[in-house]
Structure 1
Amino acid sequence: MPQKIYIRLASHRVNTSVAVNQRHPKIFTPGEVITTQNEFMRGHGTYEENGELKSSVAGVREQVNNLISVRPLKSRYNGEVGDVVVGRITEVQQKRWKVETNSRLDSVLPLSAVNLPGGELRRRSAEDEHMMRQFLQEGDLISAEVQSVHSDGSLSLHTRSLKYGKLAQGVLVKVFPSLIRRSKTHFHNLPIGASVILGNNGFIWICPTINNTDESVGGFIQNLEQVVPKQERETIARIRNCILALMQSKMLLYDTSILYAYEESLKYSVPELLVPEAMVDTAVLTQQRLCMIENE
């Protein structure tokens, strides 16, 4: 079956980065006035000029008590304890794995911070150290939680819960970490037939629906022989393209925004969602639905 080819002139191209007029959260540009009130303290990404607090980077305003800072849209991931991350094993070292988590330095997953096969609880032996590559090897994708942050900014991870561990069949999408909204849970079983792990580090994992009652979830089980039905693969591909559409318009990514984008994208085929006009249309309709909910 012949495929459609889309050709457009440069004058007809759409600037997707400014397609959505976001009201919440507001994106500040360098030099823009954040506040003129003097009781606020200056944080990262801000500077003071003529009694006004201004943004020095393009990003989202964050406020803790009287401290105001601006978190850049495009930056490396700065980890915090308790964050859920998705990463890729880059190296197997002595009693630890090196993990790429989109931060300035590689993160570390110690052998003592993973669940042994079968959930056995005991001290790690030399035999466990020799079998490390059988547990996790270079190229494997994992979900984990940030256990601690070292003085140089590197992260120490752990996978001591069954919801963490090696990831099996699915799709990895990379977005800006600032677009991931922090919430109580970053593991979502969407009602459309897929599961999403929204890593705080900007790595999003999309896979077939995870059965939380299955004791084999997490750890080192992959089930690569399992055949994923075509309908589920199409759902995963559509979710991926919807996330890319929201990312192009600098919209926050969380379960509701992804679900609304999926519903608004159903009028397009999966390949058509990669066309800039379709991406903008999906993002605009999603933003309108989110604003309607906020106004209710």
Structure 2
Amino acid sequence: MPQKIQIRLASHRVSTSVAVNQRYPKIFTPGEVITSQNEFMRGHGTYEENSDLKASVAGVRQQVNNLISIRPLKSRYNGEVGDVVVGRITEVQQKRWKVATNSRLDSVLLLSSVNLPGGELRRRSAEDEHMMRQYLQEGDLISAEVQSVYSDGSLSLHTRSFKYGKLSQGVLVKVFPSLIKRSKTHFHNLPIGASVILGNNGFIWICPIINNSEDGASGFIQNLEEVVPRQDRETIGRIRNCILSLSQSKMMLYDTSILYAYEESLKYTVPELLVQEAMVDVAILTQQRLCMLEDT
């Protein structure tokens, strides 16, 4: 069948600056006044001018007590202990794997920081070291937790919980880390028939419903032989396009915003969600529903 091709002039482009008008979160631009009160301290991404505290980068305001800083929208991921991350294995070394996690330096996953097949807790032997490539090899995607931060800023990861490990069939979406809202859990089984892992590093994994039960779990099972039903694949594709719509408009990504965007996108087909007008429409309608939720 012939494919429809969308061609537009520069004058017909649609503005995607939805987040400028929304109440949450407020995005500050360089030179914009954050506050005029003198009792606040200046943090990263800010400067003082004429007794006003102004933003030096474009980003979201963060406040800890009296310290105000601006977290840039476009920046590398700076990990913190306890963060959930999605990463890709880039290299197999002696007793460790190198993992790309959207940070300045590759993260490290030690052989002693993973659950081996069978789930037994024991000292790692030379045989385990020789079989490392059978567990995880270059190109594999994993979910993990930040265990510690080294002095050079690189991260040490672990997958000792059964909810972490190798990721099998699904779709990876990359967004700015600043758009991921921090919450108690970043693993969501959405009621629309798909699971989402919102990595604090800006990598989002969308896949069929995840069963986190420990029965038969090892952290290395992929089940690539299983056929994902067409309905599940369409759901995953729609969620992906909804996330792209929200991230294009610089809206925060969490389970509620993704779910609202999915519901507002049902009037479009999955391919139509890649058209600029449809992406902005979904973002605006999602923003309105989130504002109504805050008011109640």
Change (3 A) 1:294 1:142: same
> In structure 1, what residue type is equivalent to 2:93?
Q
Report if the CA contact (8 A) 1:264-1:285 is conserved. Answer: yes
Change (3 A) 1:227 1:214: farther
2:237 counterpart residue number: 237
2:252 counterpart residue number: 252
Change (3 A) 1:43 1:130: same
Report if the CA contact (8 A) 1:164-1:218 is conserved. Answer: no
- Which 4+ runs in 1 deviate beyond 3 A? 17-20
Q: Name the SS of the counterpart of 1:145 in structure 2.
A: strand
1:14 counterpart residue number: 14
> What is the rounded CA distance, in whole Å, between the counterparts of 1:59 and 1:207 in structure 2?
30
Q: Name the SS of the counterpart of 2:76 in structure 1.
A: coil
1:116 deviates by 1.0
1:51 aligns with 2:51: yes
Report if the CA contact (8 A) 1:150-1:156 is conserved. Answer: yes
Residues 224-250 of structure 1 deviation map (CA, whole Å, 9 limit, x = unaligned): 000000000000000000000000000
1:20 deviates by 5.9
2:123 counterpart residue number: 123
> What is the rounded CA distance, in whole Å, between the counterparts of 2:215 and 2:177 in structure 1?
30
Change (3 A) 1:276 1:216: farther
Change (3 A) 1:45 1:19: closer
> What is the rounded CA distance, in whole Å, between the counterparts of 2:113 and 2:119 in structure 1?
12
1:265 deviates by 0.3
Report if the CA contact (8 A) 1:162-1:215 is conserved. Answer: no
1:4 deviates by 2.0
Q: Name the SS of the counterpart of 1:80 in structure 2.
A: coil
1:111 counterpart residue number: 111
2:147 counterpart residue number: 147
Residues 96-123 of structure 1 deviation map (CA, whole Å, 9 limit, x = unaligned): 0000000000000000000011101100
> What is the rounded CA distance, in whole Å, between the counterparts of 1:37 and 1:85 in structure 2?
37
Report if the CA contact (8 A) 1:29-1:57 is conserved. Answer: yes
> In structure 2, what residue type is equivalent to 1:176?
F
Change (3 A) 1:20 1:31: closer
1:284 counterpart residue number: 284
2:211 counterpart residue number: 211
> In structure 2, what residue type is equivalent to 1:228?
V
Q: Structure 2: state its 5+ residue gaps.
A: none
> In structure 1, what residue type is equivalent to 2:201?
N
Change (3 A) 1:255 1:103: same
> In structure 2, what residue type is equivalent to 1:260?
Y
Change (3 A) 1:195 1:98: same
Q: Name the SS of the counterpart of 2:148 in structure 1.
A: strand
Q: What is the correspondence of 1:23-102 to structure 2 with a 5 Å cutoff?
A: 23-102=23-102
> What is the rounded CA distance, in whole Å, between the counterparts of 2:218 and 2:278 in structure 1?
36
1:221 counterpart residue number: 221
TM-score normalised by structure 2 residue count: 0.98
Q: Name the SS of the counterpart of 1:283 in structure 2.
A: helix
Residues 79-108 of structure 1 deviation map (CA, whole Å, 9 limit, x = unaligned): 000000000000000100000000000000
Residues 102-149 of structure 1 deviation map (CA, whole Å, 9 limit, x = unaligned): 000000000000001110110011111000000000000000000001
Change (3 A) 1:271 1:19: farther
> In structure 2, what residue type is equivalent to 1:52?
D
> In structure 1, what residue type is equivalent to 2:189?
N
> What is the rounded CA distance, in whole Å, between the counterparts of 2:217 and 2:281 in structure 1?
37
Change (3 A) 1:22 1:217: farther
> What is the rounded CA distance, in whole Å, between the counterparts of 1:237 and 1:215 in structure 2?
29
User: Which segment is superposed worse, 20-29 or 238-247?
Assistant: 20-29
1:3 deviates by 2.3
Q: Structure 1: state its 5+ residue gaps.
A: none
